[in-house]
Amino acid sequence: MRISTIRKYIFVTICLIRCWGVQAQNIRSTSIHVDKAGSLSTLISSEDKYSITDLTLSGYLNGSDIEFIRDMIGRTVLDSITPGIVSMLNLEDTNIVKGGDAYIYLFEYSCYDYTKDNSISSSMFRNLSNLTSLTLPKSINYIGSNAFNGCARLTSILIPTGVTTINAGAFSNCTGLSSITIPNTVTTIGNSVFYNCSALASIAIPDGITSIGDKTFDGCTGLASVTIPGNVKTIGYDAFANCTGLPEIHCKALTPPNVASTTFTGIIKTCSKLYVPKGTSTIYRSAIGWSGFANIIEEESTSIPQTPVIGIKVYVYQGEIVVTGAGSGDEITVYSTIGTTLQTIKATGDEIRIMVPAHQMYLIKIEDKTFKAAL
């Protein structure tokens, strides 16, 4: 009886060890440094290629390496499925360089895509639905069109400081993407960049953006808040179309941006709240495309750019606009928020006081620099 019981214990123990071994095999991580671009395939054996789940790389990568990485994640150069199971990819300390083979063939355009220096080129990670975590190279400055299109399991991403352009459709159909951090170095965002990102909850658009393209947030049904920077002048067709759950929009522009007839299609304007800079609600209520919002609320904060100028300060004190540090003879012009010139004076001393009506927002231009002031 005792022998039988001991045998049962031994059998169960062996089974557990085997199960743990299988689980350990299913979670495999590795770190590899690539000294020479194009050599990654020589650093990972054929046995390991389809068994690694967590991959960290450093060094130099070209098109041949990106093709190999795509294969390890689950897609070939012809975008067909492979046994690859990499779900976590860290490229923070890599440098992407031009050269090597094409990493994907685009049937809709009948062409191949190749790497470019310091860029996440077009369609580089397209349709890699196995990816759940991706750390981008800190050396990149450009993200190409459809770069991450169809990365449906990717939940969050941090765009490195230094990136200036995110091209059309870059994150379209990333249906699991709930958060994204975009640095203020980004000055261009293309059309349809976040198209159908249905899990995206909120986003802060960089201050340097002057235009929001067509369909940029079309289909972002989970979007709960969006902030439009003060530099934005135009918002394209269907830019926020079908953002059916969007309860509030914060627009920091003193002058309402030009919008298309379908910019806000699908948003219930009688329910959504539109927050605008102090002193501008009247303008927004009469502006084409904005007047339909029933709840337009003024708020103190603005993102009007103030050019930092050593020595020049503009502030409000005792009901007046005070300018200090302007050069003798510098022209100081005060504008309303709709661009009407209210006063023009010449700086004659270290401190200039300007009297204007209270409860308004003003723009003060000193030579080629612009400041803001709210009384």
Query: Are 343 and 222 part of one and the same domain?
Result: no
Q: CATH number for the domain including 154?
A: 3.80.10.10
Q: Is the pLDDT of residue 210 over 90?
A: yes
pLDDT tens for 112-162 read 999 999 999 999 999 999 999 999 999 999 999 999 999 999 999 999 999
For residue 105, tell me if it sits in a domain: yes
State the DSSP code for 42: G
Q: Is the pLDDT of residue 16 over 70?
A: no
**What φ, ψ does residue 211 adopt, rounded to 5°?**
-145, 135
Query: Are 90 and 151 part of one and the same domain?
Result: yes
| Whole-number pLDDT of residue 14 | 47
Q: CATH number for the domain including 340?
A: 2.60.40.3580
Query: Are 204 and 290 part of one and the same domain?
Result: yes
For residue 135, tell me if it sits in a domain: yes
For residue 306, tell me if it sits in a domain: no
Query: Are 163 and 249 part of one and the same domain?
Result: yes
| Whole-number pLDDT of residue 8 | 53
What pLDDT band is residue 312 in, cutting at 50, 70 and 90?
A: confident
Mean pLDDT of the chain: 88
Q: Partners of 335 in the beta sheet?
A: 341, 363
For residue 176, tell me if it sits in a domain: yes
| Whole-number pLDDT of residue 329 | 83
Query: Are 276 and 330 part of one and the same domain?
Result: no
Number of domains composing the chain: 2
For residue 304, tell me if it sits in a domain: no
Query: Are 141 and 72 part of one and the same domain?
Result: yes
- Distance, CA of 172 to CA of 245 (rounded, Å): 18
| Whole-number pLDDT of residue 302 | 44
Q: Partners of 323 in the beta sheet?
A: 314, 352
For residue 202, tell me if it sits in a domain: yes
Query: Are 56 and 125 part of one and the same domain?
Result: yes
Q: Is the pLDDT higher at 372 or at 321? A: 321
Query: Are 248 and 333 part of one and the same domain?
Result: no
What pLDDT band is residue 275 in, cutting at 50, 70 and 90?
A: very high
Query: Are 273 and 337 part of one and the same domain?
Result: no
**What φ, ψ does residue 2 adopt, rounded to 5°?**
-65, -40
Q: Is the pLDDT of residue 308 over 50?
A: no
Query: Are 271 and 151 part of one and the same domain?
Result: yes
Domain region containing 349 = 313-374
Secondary structure class of 23 (helix, strand, coil): helix
Q: Which of 299, 326, 353 is the last residue of a domain?
A: 299
For residue 188, tell me if it sits in a domain: yes
Q: Which of 258, 274, 299 is the last residue of a domain?
A: 299
For residue 15, tell me if it sits in a domain: no
Helix, strand, coil: what percent of the chain each, to 5? 15, 30, 55
What pLDDT band is residue 13 in, cutting at 50, 70 and 90?
A: very low
What's the average model confidence in pLDDT over 184-199?
96
Residues whose CB is less than 8 angstroms from the CB of residue 212 and which lie 6 or more positions away in sequence, other chains included: 189, 205, 228, 232, 234, 235, 236, 239, 257
Cα distances from 233 to residues 67, 139, 157, 319, in angstroms, run 40, 30, 27, 31
Q: Is the pLDDT of residue 374 over 80?
A: no
Query: Are 339 and 218 part of one and the same domain?
Result: no
| Whole-number pLDDT of residue 204 | 84
Secondary structure class of 30 (helix, strand, coil): strand
Query: Are 276 and 229 part of one and the same domain?
Result: yes
